Structure 1
Amino acid sequence: MFTGTDLVQFFQENAALAVFLTVAVGFWIGKFRYKSFSLGTVTSVLLVGVLVGQMKIEIPEPAKTLFFLMFLFAVGYAVGPQFFRGLRKDGLPQVAFAVVVCLLCLGSVWLCALVMGYDAAQAAGLMAGSQTMSAVLGVATDTIREMPNLKNLDLSTMPVVYAVTYIYGTAGSAWLLGTLGPRLLGGVNKVKAAARELESRMGEDVSAQPGFNPAVRAIVFRAFSADNEWFAPGRTVREFEENMRKQGKRIFVERLRQQGKIRDVTPKMMLYRGDEIVVSGRREFVIEEEDWIGAEIVDEELVNFNVEKLSVVVGRKEASGMCIRELLKSDFMHGVMIRSITRTGVKIPVFGGGRLDTGDRIELIGLRQDVDRAAARLGFGDPATEKSSMTLAGLGIVLGGLIFGWILVTRIGSIPLSLTVSGGVLIAGLVCGWLRAKRPNLGGIPEPAVWFMNNVGLNVFIAIVGISTGPTFIRGFQEVGWSLFIVGAVATSLPLISGIFIGKYLFKFNDALTLGCCSGARTTTAALGAVEETLESTVPAMGYTITYAIGNTLLIIWGVVIVLLVG
């Protein structure tokens, strides 16, 4: 008969299963939410790991490093295009703002650490938790191990500080930016008005115009009988589509049955009264045309043709910076609908005055030849695939760690100074992500694979941290004390509140954009969601992407800097 002792021994002998147990239970707990509060996946995994760690399970060090490096590379790969895009002239104000906010984050943590007398491990934990940047745990650990005077430092308090301060770091940031932020800027109604003003200045919301396909505005392909007298003298396909365009509707003729024969169409092909035509467009516009074109017909043979849905990565120089309004008027977009535009993993509001960026992912819908033509002019098609370029990922990780962790190392006395292997892998990810948007022949990593490397890589790393420090977690909490939660709240709040006023008065951003920029610089997606919900607008997302790319990079690197400052 099995006993509790037998179970403990089993997990001690099979440490990998303990890690999977921790990740599974942590992900499950992380889904639970009370009103707007949730522990989140990462904190849940850490706390479960602490409980599992009471069984005193030893996990080999390379396992933790392997998953951590995989996570860092994925982070850099995902934000690489936007990171380098921000360095262009029109993106520099948001880059500068993100740098200022990140410096404030570093300064607030350093100040709190000095006041409280924290050591380097505790300061790193405070940086990771209060700024919700879990990767700091790994980067700081690598740095501490490279410093001769810190090799014997007790690291068990680092995850303790992280766990306690992460809760307010997440929930507090969402409250500060989503609830307090609009009040600091003059009130919710004033900031809502600022969002509407920016929308007006950017032009019409083309996501509400033909050619865009949010979920509530499905693109359809429907067949009609051309009964209207307008067709009697004979009209070309181009005349029909231009007539639609004058009415503000992007409707295209996709197929035709003429004299009993089904034919593919060309712009010069003639349409006559009585012909049966298939048109494509947004659902409500196509339905509206039934009274004008003629009666809708059911013809399975006529509408039985393949339509391509393709994800396209913007990479061509002439496409980057193109105005959305001009894009829709381009000849190469004829017959092509845009379903969505995603930037750095965030669906952005699409205005006529908005512009494309390198690395944007656009989902196109239309006939294969039309979609392929548009894809070639915008960048390259990136169809769903199960394959990842492990050559790109593997060499990127190796070269990044080699260059920044070994070759580019300087010394002050006996102390080696470098970005460490971890920082090098992050930089390598940035470069590889940017190169992928420019040169598709390098191969790529599908979004699901990036998600796996990012989320599983981070949470396995955190699980191992929790399991390894579990036996000393309670003792570590006793050392840092209950005041830790308040210290974390201060370290979280100071940069965000300062950032709100800096964005408004120094950078003179639109108020709604300021809140989005603050969310991005602090890499807190939860806060962005809270802001958008309060303002009932997606405008703040326009300030999120570039600042997120910069913040995600600098806050991780601060894991090195905070150790050097305190240690």
Structure 2
Amino acid sequence: MIGELLRNQPEFALFASLALGYLIGSFKIGPIQLGGVCGTLIVALVLGQTGARISPDLKNIAFAVFIFALGFTGGPQFFANVGRGWRYGLLSLIEVSTVLALVFAAIVLLGLDQGTAAGLLAGAATESAVIGTASEAIGRLGLPAVETARLQANVVTAYSVSYLFGLITIVLFTSQFAPLILRIDLRAEAERLWRKLGGDGALENGQRVAAPSLVGREFRVGPAAGITIGELEARYGYNLAVEGVLRKTAALEVEPALMLETGDHVVLVGRREALVEAADAIGEELAGKDAAGFHTQRLDVVLTRAEAHGLTVAQIRERAEPEEGRGVFISAVTRIGNTIPALPGTELNRGDVLTLVGAPDDVERGASLLGYALPATDKTDFVLLGMGVLAGMALGHLSARIGSVALTLGTGGGCLLSGLLFGWLRSRRPLIGSLPSAAAQILKDFGLGTFIAAVGLSAGPDALALVHQYGLALPAIGVLMVLVPGLLSLCIGRALLKLDAPMLLGAIAGQQCSTPAISALVGAAGNSTPVIGYTITYALSNVLLPLAGPVVVGFGSSLRALHL
């Protein structure tokens, strides 16, 4: 009865796979959590035994939208880190080259077919997008339909088997084993790095700062009488700003040349440590009733200014003219959807989203100097989306040969590259289209979920046969494909690149594109310093690994042709 319903109305199978899959993926055992994508695949493989199928056209559309949105959101960071983030970028190159070498060795030694080899790469590297690019490459080999379906099913099955072992390995390696190998106390190292970057104390997991870093206070001028506003702000490194002056009952216009007088009420906004230091030198702090009319504004700004790329938060303030930077403070930094510490020593990249806090006029001035304010819109520009996907499909027809290996980007690779390009253009020309981050996330989640459900349903009948054929070989190789590049990156990153341990371990989680690993690592470290390294390698590996899928298919096809 249920099988007939799923076969006749495959939309039931699709949404059952998504609902049950994300439910299963939400369960957590220690630091291990499967996630919605792997959960969806498991449910789809089970329901696929009933013969339920989803239209290949829907599968292709879902993957094209997902991979374009993935490239679009990562474009600014990818191009920002190609040149200047070379130390972390080297780790992504180590990841891709090592896993490719191991997959090629497995093809030769175990006789893996193209589909199984590509699925092994996707699962061990925990990069679901490889399923799409590899499956599409298999479809272009010109094989009989039955053989094509079998190989594409093997991609999914090999992924599902190796993913779980790859996930467990990378989580335990980064958060538990690597600190032991380095002989460090990870929590102590993370706290030391936090202070090195200018933080005033690391937090335990789940804690929040009781005294915020940015505050506003009102004072009655005493010892500060006789100095100008400009002199007062300069004395404390422009880490505070006078935003209001009330003399008797008159509100005065705030100017750097305005001299303070005894009894003036002044409203100061700035970093808490600067205001605490300045309090005794200004006068008596008041309850703030007269400052009730003053308010601050928070504004998200995309950093596009070329001169600011690679500078720390403190360096940007130091290099700004006093009148440009006064009253503007960076309270948060978001990179590829991850919040990184907004500390004085935090290095900023083009494409970062900076949350500015200050008086409305000051914040708007700062936004115009640093980049462009993110418009408060929830509308998606379908001209941008449609043109981007079309451009990706056109790029997908490009092909090349490396020796006897034929390489074609396909729709997946083409849409990934077009997404990168459109995202990069958007970060520099804010008038080009609009794809809000929430909308992009929906496109990625639903697009990938639908694609995974479709391929899982079609692969269901062949899954057990592949597992029986290779047994424990796939899980074992999957573990090696995590440990070998992880150990290489650990040694090179520590001995040659001299990276701080928390950011190095975060970068290793990022080169593996593992969100569960960075979550477990942040919990073990006690603060978010590992996320700084994670975002760079994550952006690079999210592009390089999907493009490696067709390479594995091409190599496997050439090897089989030689044997034939």
TM-score interval (norm. to shorter) = 0.7 to 0.9
**SS of match in other structure, 2:368:** helix
- Identify the match of residue 130 of structure 1 among 124, 128, 136: 124
Q: State how 1:191-202 maps to structure 2 within 5 Å.
A: none
Aligned to 1:188: 184
- Residues 82 and 226 (structure 1), Cα distance of their counterparts in 2 relative to 1, 3 Å cut: same
- Residues 199 and 229 (structure 1), Cα distance of their counterparts in 2 relative to 1, 3 Å cut: closer
Letter in 1 for 2:165: Y
- Structure 2 Cα separation of the partners of residues 430 and 70 of structure 1: 13
Aligned to 2:57: 62
Aligned to 1:561: 551
Say whether residues 1:418 and 2:416 are aligned partners: no
Say whether residues 1:356 and 2:353 are aligned partners: no
- Residues 86 and 285 (structure 1), Cα distance of their counterparts in 2 relative to 1, 3 Å cut: closer
Q: State how 1:112-127 maps to structure 2 within 5 Å.
A: 112-127=106-121
Aligned to 1:372: 364
- Structure 1 Cα separation of the partners of residues 368 and 197 of structure 2: 27
- Structure 2 Cα separation of the partners of residues 350 and 297 of structure 1: 29
- Residues 460 and 495 (structure 1), Cα distance of their counterparts in 2 relative to 1, 3 Å cut: same
* Aligned-residue offset at 1:559: 0.8
List per-residue Cα deviations over 1:155-208 (Å, max 9, x = no partner). 3232221111111111210111222212223x123x6776677667x6533899
Letter in 1 for 2:40: V
Letter in 1 for 2:387: L
**SS of match in other structure, 2:268:** strand
* Alpha carbons 1:157, 1:477 under 8 Å: kept: no
- Structure 2 Cα separation of the partners of residues 76 and 318 of structure 1: 24
List per-residue Cα deviations over 1:428-478 (Å, max 9, x = no partner). 111111111111111332111121122221112112222222344334433
- Residues 264 and 22 (structure 1), Cα distance of their counterparts in 2 relative to 1, 3 Å cut: farther
Say whether residues 1:429 and 2:419 are aligned partners: yes
Say whether residues 1:93 and 2:83 are aligned partners: no
* Aligned-residue offset at 1:138: 1.0
91-100 or 169-178: bigger deviation: 91-100
Say whether residues 1:83 and 2:78 are aligned partners: yes
Aligned to 1:178: 175
Letter in 2 for 1:355: E
- Residues 126 and 223 (structure 1), Cα distance of their counterparts in 2 relative to 1, 3 Å cut: closer
Say whether residues 1:448 and 2:438 are aligned partners: yes
Aligned to 2:392: 400
Normalising to structure 1: TM-score of the pair? 0.87
List per-residue Cα deviations over 1:190-247 (Å, max 9, x = no partner). x6776677667x6533899xxxxx855436665535153443xx4432233334x16x
- Structure 2 Cα separation of the partners of residues 393 and 517 of structure 1: 31
- Residues 207 and 235 (structure 1), Cα distance of their counterparts in 2 relative to 1, 3 Å cut: farther
- Structure 1 Cα separation of the partners of residues 535 and 348 of structure 2: 13
* Aligned-residue offset at 1:326: 2.5
- Structure 2 Cα separation of the partners of residues 470 and 198 of structure 1: 48
- Structure 1 Cα separation of the partners of residues 215 and 535 of structure 2: 34
Give the alignment's Cα RMSD to 1 decimal: 2.9
- Residues 288 and 198 (structure 1), Cα distance of their counterparts in 2 relative to 1, 3 Å cut: closer
- Structure 2 Cα separation of the partners of residues 338 and 485 of structure 1: 46
* Alpha carbons 1:389, 1:444 under 8 Å: kept: yes
* Aligned-residue offset at 1:510: 4.3
List per-residue Cα deviations over 1:462-511 (Å, max 9, x = no partner). 12222222344334433333443223222332222222223334545444
Aligned to 2:316: 327
Say whether residues 1:260 and 2:260 are aligned partners: no
* Alpha carbons 2:94, 2:488 under 8 Å: kept: no
- Structure 2 Cα separation of the partners of residues 409 and 308 of structure 1: 51
Aligned to 2:101: 107
* Aligned-residue offset at 1:419: 1.3
Letter in 2 for 1:417: L
- Structure 2 Cα separation of the partners of residues 259 and 511 of structure 1: 56
Aligned to 1:35: 30
List per-residue Cα deviations over 1:330-373 (Å, max 9, x = no partner). 22221112111122233334454443211111100111110111
**SS of match in other structure, 1:51:** helix
* Alpha carbons 2:153, 2:455 under 8 Å: kept: no
* Alpha carbons 2:32, 2:516 under 8 Å: kept: no
**SS of match in other structure, 1:433:** helix
Alignment identity in percent?
31
- Identify the match of residue 233 of structure 2 among 236, 241, 244: 241
- Residues 188 and 400 (structure 1), Cα distance of their counterparts in 2 relative to 1, 3 Å cut: same
**SS of match in other structure, 2:308:** coil
* Alpha carbons 1:224, 1:293 under 8 Å: kept: no
List per-residue Cα deviations over 1:358-404 (Å, max 9, x = no partner). 1111100111110111111111111432022222222122112202x
Aligned to 2:156: 159
Aligned to 2:512: 522
- Identify the match of residue 496 of structure 1 among 475, 478, 486: 486
Say whether residues 1:48 and 2:43 are aligned partners: yes
- Structure 1 Cα separation of the partners of residues 476 and 530 of structure 2: 29
- Structure 2 Cα separation of the partners of residues 193 and 413 of structure 1: 51
- Structure 2 Cα separation of the partners of residues 207 and 237 of structure 1: 31
191-200 or 174-183: bigger deviation: 191-200
Letter in 1 for 2:476: I
- Residues 61 and 235 (structure 1), Cα distance of their counterparts in 2 relative to 1, 3 Å cut: same
* Alpha carbons 1:188, 1:535 under 8 Å: kept: no
* Alpha carbons 2:94, 2:485 under 8 Å: kept: no
* Aligned-residue offset at 1:535: 4.2
* Alpha carbons 1:399, 1:428 under 8 Å: kept: yes
* Alpha carbons 1:516, 1:544 under 8 Å: kept: yes
- Structure 2 Cα separation of the partners of residues 109 and 60 of structure 1: 31
- Residues 11 and 411 (structure 1), Cα distance of their counterparts in 2 relative to 1, 3 Å cut: same
Aligned to 1:20: 15
Say whether residues 1:545 and 2:539 are aligned partners: no
- Residues 376 and 412 (structure 1), Cα distance of their counterparts in 2 relative to 1, 3 Å cut: closer
Aligned residues: 545
**SS of match in other structure, 1:318:** helix
* Alpha carbons 1:223, 1:303 under 8 Å: kept: no
* Aligned-residue offset at 1:41: 1.5
List per-residue Cα deviations over 1:548-567 (Å, max 9, x = no partner). 22211111111101111112
Aligned to 1:211: none
- Structure 2 Cα separation of the partners of residues 221 and 104 of structure 1: 49
- Residues 443 and 296 (structure 1), Cα distance of their counterparts in 2 relative to 1, 3 Å cut: same
Letter in 2 for 1:19: L
- Structure 2 Cα separation of the partners of residues 283 and 230 of structure 1: 19
Say whether residues 1:279 and 2:279 are aligned partners: no
Normalising to structure 2: TM-score of the pair? 0.88
**SS of match in other structure, 1:165:** helix
* Alpha carbons 2:405, 2:555 under 8 Å: kept: no
498-507 or 360-369: bigger deviation: 498-507
Letter in 2 for 1:564: G
- Residues 105 and 306 (structure 1), Cα distance of their counterparts in 2 relative to 1, 3 Å cut: same
